[in-house]
Amino acid sequence: MSSIAQHLQQVQTRIQSACQAAGRDPASVRLLAVSKTFDASAVRQAHAAGQSAFGENYIQEGVDKILALQDLALEWHCIGPIQSNKTRLVAEHFDWVHSIDRIKTAERLSAQRPAGLPDLQVCIQVNLDGGSNKSGVAPDQILALANAVAALPRLRLRGIMSIPEPGDEAATRWVHAQAHALWCSLQQAGLVLDTLSMGMTADLELAVAQGSTMVRVGTAIFGQR
Ligand SMILES: *Cc1c(COP(=O)(O)O)cnc(C)c1O
């Protein structure tokens, strides 16, 4: 068994234990394997071990891998910041985007999504604990942005993504709880959402305890970057 396959199994076990501790169905948490900085052969090994959803932060690097791996049935998630001059690449190559934090980005993705492809699945990134220079929309702006994104053609709003600042357990748990509450409040406002994207290598158990439906794990699968 490759070490990537072993690591994937360890991460699945962590997710299962976290679900058990939280009284949740393990099938309610998806694993996104974050392959940024690792090459296409690492993604191939992970796919051979049963993993099909991959996350990339850097657009051009991600597109290069997507093109190199077209022979595999993979689902590609863009989880990094998107500059305006990169929206076309994202719209043409990725299946999901977690990092929408401005209507302008969403409008460009909507306009540039090729008609022959399925709708682009999108999440709005929320900034719950950073200053104004951190990516993500402020919590009091998210309902307006979510409603605007949900109205755009060729995009399908699925939920929100949260990335806590590195901190102690209590602080991380607080951010995850805020993200979950915000996600619930958007649903109460009438939006149909099924994705709460939170939890990484260091905090996936805490995220699952607070209701994460998709954990984004890089280091624990592919190794240190
Ligand atoms: C790099 C990255 C991850 C994966 O982080 P690890 O700590 O390596 O698991 C998850 N989400 C985002 C947005 C990232 O940039």
Question: Would you state the structure tokens that stand for residue 88, as one six-digit string?
Answer: 């076309």
Confidence (pLDDT) at 131: 80
Ligand 1 centroid – CA 163 distance (Å): 9
| 3-state SS, one letter per residue, for 78-133 | ECCCCCHHHHHHHHHHCCEEEEECCHHHHHHHHHHCCCCCCCEEEEEEECCCCCCC
Ligand 1 centroid – CA 218 distance (Å): 6
Confidence (pLDDT) at 2: 80
Give the C-alpha separation, 171 to 26, whole Å.
25
Question: Would you state the structure tokens that stand for residue 160, as one six-digit string?
Answer: 């929100």
Is-contact 94 62, C-beta < 8 A?
yes
Ligand 1 centroid – CA 42 distance (Å): 16
Tell me if 57 CB under 6 Å of ligand 1.
Answer: yes
Report pLDDT digits (tens) over 179-225: 999 999 999 999 999 999 999 999 999 999 999 999 999 999 999 99
Mean pLDDT (the chain) is: 97
Select from 11, 14, 30, 34 the residue to mutate for testing ligand 1; criterion: most ligand atoms less than 8 Å from CB.
34
Question: Would you state the structure tokens that stand for residue 164, as one six-digit string?
Answer: 């806590």
Confidence (pLDDT) at 133: 79
Domain residue ranges of the chain, discontinuous segments joined by + = 3-222
Would you list the DSSP string of the chain?
--HHHHHHHHHHHHHHHHHHHHT--GGG-EEEEE-TTS-HHHHHHHHHTT--EEEESSHHHHHHHHHHTTTS--EEEE-S---GGGHHHHHHH-SEEEEE-SHHHHHHHHHHS-TTSPPEEEEEEE-SSS-TTSSSB-GGGHHHHHHHHHTSTTEEEEEEEE-PPS--HHHHHHHHHHHHHHHHHHHHTT----EEE---TTTHHHHHHTT-SEEEE-HHHH---
- pLDDT less than 70: residues of the chain: none
Confidence (pLDDT) at 109: 98
Ligand 1 centroid – CA 98 distance (Å): 12
Question: Would you state the structure tokens that stand for residue 61, as one six-digit string?
Answer: 């690097």
Ligand 1 centroid – CA 66 distance (Å): 18
Confidence (pLDDT) at 140: 96
Nearest atom of ligand 1 to the alpha carbon of 201: 9
User: In the CATH hierarchy, which fold is given to the domain comprising 3-222?
Assistant: TIM Barrel (3.20.20)
Tell me if 161 CB under 6 Å of ligand 1.
Answer: no
Backbone angles phi, psi at 105, to 5 degrees: -65, -45
